[in-house]
Amino acid sequence: MVTDSAAASSAWGGGQRVNNGAINVDPSGKEITPIAAILKKNCNARIGLVTTATVTHATPAGFAASISSRGNENSIAPQYLNRVDVILADDPPFLLQVEGARVDHAAHLNDIAGLLGDQLAFDDALAAMLAMIAGRDDILIVVTSDHGNANPGLNGMGKNSEVFGHMMEIFG
């Protein structure tokens, strides 16, 4: 009479009704392809699951897994390997690595405009992260450079360098 989390999430994530306790497996035992697998295959979509429970709990699993018993979380996790790009759960130890990699790419190309733009974009991303965790004392953010090569000046010096030309284009 009352839908459990597995059946409810399967209705949203798989588009069909299933029995309580099942995740994207219909009453006849046939697996239903969850939306994450469909979007990944057809659109190469990036998929993320965020929860304050274990990430293999019934609700997140309903969007990315198919299994006859919601309690079989050890069989849910491997199904995420080719379907889910980002998984965030409120379980210790938790680690999120965020990189501003385009800064390095721009430096290698001696693209000063790209380098500055990407440094500013990374600064904006860092500001957003800091705002999200404001007031919390259980999260550590470590910020470091890729390998500190953000110096396109290595391709020459002075007015004859390629970098000087780029700087003049940008700043006049």
Catalytic residue list: 5
**What residues form DSSP beta bridges with 120?**
none
Structure letter (DSSP) for residue 83: T
- Pairing of β 86-89 and β 48-51: parallel
C-alpha to C-alpha distance for 125 and 129, rounded to whole angstroms: 6
Of 83, 50, 81, 51, residue with least CA distance to 64: 83
